[in-house]
Chain A
Amino acid sequence: MNPMPLVALVGNPNAGKSALFNALTGARQKVGNYPGVTVERKSGRIALPDGRPVELVDLPGTYSLDPSSPDEAVTRDVVLGTQTGERLPSALIVVVDATNLDNHLRFTLQLIALGMPVVVALNMIDMAERDGLRIDVERLSRELGVPVVPTVAVRRKGIDTLVAELSARIGAVMVLRAGHAPETDFTVLQRQARAIAAAATIEEHGARRFTHAIDRVALHPIVGPVLLAGLMFVMFQAVFAWSEAPIGWIESLILAFQNFVTASLPEGFVRGLIVEGVIGGVGAVVVFLPQILFLFLFILLLEASGYMVRAAFLMDRLMARVGLSGRAFIPLLSSFACAVPGIMATRTIDDPRDRLTTILIAPLMTCSARLPVYAVIIGAFIPAREVGPGIGLQGLVLFGLYVGGIFGAMAAALLLRRTVTKGASHGFMMEMPQYQLPLWRDVVLGLWQRALIFLKRAGTIILATTVVLWLLLTFPKPPENATAPAIDYSIAGQVANGLTPVVRPIGFNRDIALALIPAMAAREVAVSALGTVYAIQGDVEAEGQRSLIQRLQGRWSLPTALAFLVWFVFAPQCISTIAVVRRETNGWKWPGFMVGYLFVLAYVAAGLTFWLATALGL
């Protein structure tokens, strides 16, 4: 059987490729990975007008077929048909930004020269008109020798025409230009591109007034940084404030579910496992879905609007001080959502040493998985009062934890850049795209994909670890005449007892030692682990309905709670992160190094916090 034809979507960065991909495929997308490399493979199905299905694959944006990063190498290998695990595309859709023909046509010329069927999507044609640019589409098509379809991907304009043109090209017999070596001289191609752009441009006046007007404020030497700091602050306050109500709904849903199961099952092992282990453990993590989604919402909006690159611009000099570039700011900011996509985003950094340093410090950015831990501890120990108009103390402490992570990361980068990743830096060169109003459809799609990934984690790794922990905490059962708490007899209790002397100096008790073990799999498990520990330990009659927060308040001192928070700022407690670092650095050397240095950092920082807080009499 013939697999359905493959069509690749190719283009420069910032050509609006992803928006066009979304417009063409709708929500019918599959996100996977290319074998052997960690480059994301995004594909979807489209139906041609005659009913034939076609698989569309969205390739990483690149400036030329001369790759300078693993992402760009995949784009080259797919269009040349040399990528393992991918068949040769039957046609290419080349996406060009109509406002930036000079530059984008160069890559288009390179692609056309490959000799496979090509349709050019002249995207963002509305923006070009707004900029006072009029383009002769027929002339452009004639100069390039391929069909050109004007599109506005974000408003789904021109999509049908594009698909119709594509349909006419797929299956058509192409004569490969044998013996014709494609022009490779960069300058020659660039000048050809400029000549074609000039020929196809009928009229040109004004330029990007809108973007320039915003940039005058956003990149202003004083207003710009203030605006950036304000945006970050609002983002973290909002994550806490806006998610309060939805968290309440999820909590009552979980409780209702637990009550339902308790009422419908006979008392015993199975009921305990389901109510405390499964629903309790997974529920404790699912509750944080709203906060995680709000954080991703901000990051997606900053990314889609074009502001992220401005933030990189403002931060470059500061990053240069610790031996990095502004480019590292984007992966690091993404790491606030999750270090895994953050570390994968370092592939856009072409300097290998810059990239390695960024990977090693990315886990120090407070990821969303830490939020559940922070939220529980802050909720239990930090009073919810206002310290200023609209500024809550809880939000302020949370902000402080984020800042702590950032300073830790900067100090680590400074040190790494002078020792293990020593060498000259490549600097900072980046295109600044036009500002755009993010499309709700694309943002919602992005959030949906993130929510699915999170829930999948909750349903697999988190479910498995909480169930295993529950079993380890429950067995073996204490003897009949036991005097000590039941937990002391369990396997987990005994392991934790062994670990306790190690963590006691930094203020951690046995329960914390117990929670740290499963939290190696994923940080947020610490919360469900504590929930499970206290559910088993507690007198069910008296404490059954008390929340984890109330239980913690009675058991931990404030210095212990603060030390626990600081531990989570630094500790490398996430298997997925370690795995992705191994993949990205091709070996165990760097993830091993990372885990080692982060544990030392976490231990020392948590210890300092505990001793200081105790000395201050907190």
Chain B
Amino acid sequence: MSSGVPNGMSLNQLPLRQRARIVSVDWDGLAQHEARRLRELGFDEGVAIELLHHGPMGRDPIACRVGRMTVALRRAHAAAIMVEPDTRQ
């Protein structure tokens, strides 16, 4: 599905402080509890997202703004989140 999206990339590839929108999340590729926690933290198709920081070692984990919340997660999970950079800014 992500291949059909123009400029589609995973959250991992998003440059720092580049505003974007979540186009799809590979919910089935995540363990059930991981998927639930991500949903609880506000990850969903269509939500605004921005990569804010990465960790001091191996640039892992990452911190991103999701909606109005800042969430930390590991790159392994960020790979399941496909985003589309916001070109309107």
Contact = CB atoms under 8 A, between A and B. Distances in A.
Does B bind A?
A: yes
Contact of A186 (B31, B36, B52, B53): B36
Contact of A103 (B42, B52, B53, B55): B42
Contacts of A224: 56
Contact of A326 (B33, B38, B44, B61): B61
Given A221-B56, A428-B61, A68 B71 contact: no
B34 A64 contact: no
Contacts of A207: 65, 68
Contacts of A313: 53, 55, 61, 63, 72
A312 B36 CA distance: 21
Given A219-B63, A426-B31, A316 B38 contact: no
Interface string A111-135: 0000000000000000000000000
A441 interface: no
A108 B69 CA distance: 17
Interface string A366-394: 00000000000000000000000000000
Contacts of B42: 102-103, 190
A482 interface: no
Interface SS majority for chain B? mixed
Interface in B41-62: 41-42, 44, 52-61
Contacts of A101: 68
Contacts of A429: 34, 37-38, 41, 71-74, 77
Contact of A187 (B41, B44, B67): B44
Interface SS majority for chain A? helix
Interface in A180-224: 186-187, 190-191, 194, 207-208, 211-212, 215-216, 219, 221-222, 224
Nearest to A14: B69
B29 to A, nearest CB: 13
A309 B60 contact: no
Interface in B68-83: 68-74, 76-77
Contacts of B55: 221, 313-314, 316-317
A215 B65 CA distance: 12
A431 interface: yes
Nearest to A351: B33
A350 interface: yes
A225 interface: yes
B70 A431 contact: yes
A587 interface: no
A99 interface: yes
Given A219-B53, A314-B56, A427 B76 contact: yes
Contacts of A215: 52-53, 63, 70
A432 interface: yes
Interface of B: 31, 33-34, 36-42, 44, 52-61, 63, 65, 67-74, 76-77
Given A103-B41, A429-B73, 14 more contacts: A64-B40, A100-B67, A102-B69, A186-B36, A190-B44, A219-B52, A219-B63, A316-B55, A316-B60, A317-B58, A317-B61, A318-B57, A427-B77, A429-B74
